[in-house]
Structure 1
């Protein structure tokens, strides 16, 4: 029987929690767009010219905004961490791990990514963002180690 079936609790967990991680990563672009619109902060001059011809307003719109930059950095961090997490999750599932262990990895991974983004966007005190990053990274490394160990 294939481990890549929804009848396999571990694989079903990866599908569910991996999809939530990817959905959160995708939603981060909407968070950035929201901040760009509400803060009138655009990335290019042609974007600014769509709303005004006033050179001073264009100049202001092109200045970096902290909220926009925070959401962009949170999104970039997701791209750097969620993609490896989900891909390694697939490799990890191929080793047919115990469902409870796999589900713990996936739940901790998702929770860590949520904590990281919330801490970044809402400017939570340190070390909350770092805790989210380290937990997520450690979870990914744990899956990597378990996958390699199962093969060699």
Structure 2
């Protein structure tokens, strides 16, 4: 490992927290695909002919199972919101922010996304909305800090 990498990231508490939170967030995103598949198998709801022929007793494609669709929507929401959060988070780390604030901002963003997914899967409002606002606020805050630093 290069000395530059160690100085920039390995010895940097903010980067370590960012890396951990990004790992958790990516892990959460990766869980959503198998969860969709499990629910499709359980409910016999398949979107492709070949899947119907292989895994179902049904004779045609079936859409609209609410449990499958809820997981798919939560997964899509993750892709739309977690990827920007993680991307801007990396750039935010490069701005050398004040460590205690940065660590808490990054943790809040990751926690908000985990809570959002749990709330989405269970239909819990207003928790889903509030966690979405926190995650969006964190992303907006880090974006502003990055823009101001690199302008």
State the partner residue of 1:111: 111
Matched-pair contact (CA < 8 Å) for 2:41–2:55: no
TM-score where L is the length of structure 1:
0.89
* Alpha-carbon distance between aligned partners in 2 of 1:83 and 1:65, rounded to the nearest angstrom: 27
State the partner residue of 1:27: 31
* Alpha-carbon distance between aligned partners in 2 of 1:82 and 1:11, rounded to the nearest angstrom: 17
Shift of 1:129: 1.1
Structure 1: segments with no counterpart, 5+ residues: none
Q: Which segments of structure 1 move beyond 2 Å, counting only runs of 4 or more? A: 1-4
State the partner residue of 1:86: 86
Decide whether aligned partners of structure 1 residues 28 and 4 sit closer, same or farther in structure 2, where only a CA change above 3 A counts. farther
Q: 1:129-148 to 2 correspondence within 5 Å? A: 129-148=128-147
* Alpha-carbon distance between aligned partners in 2 of 1:51 and 1:22, rounded to the nearest angstrom: 29
Matched-pair contact (CA < 8 Å) for 1:4–1:93: no
Structure 2: segments with no counterpart, 5+ residues: none
Q: How many residues align?
A: 147
TM-score where L is the length of structure 2:
0.90
Q: What is the aligned-residue RMSD (CA, Å)?
A: 1.6
- Per-residue CA deviation, residues 91-143 of structure 1 (Å, 9 max, x unaligned), is 1111101111111111111111111111111122x211111111101100000
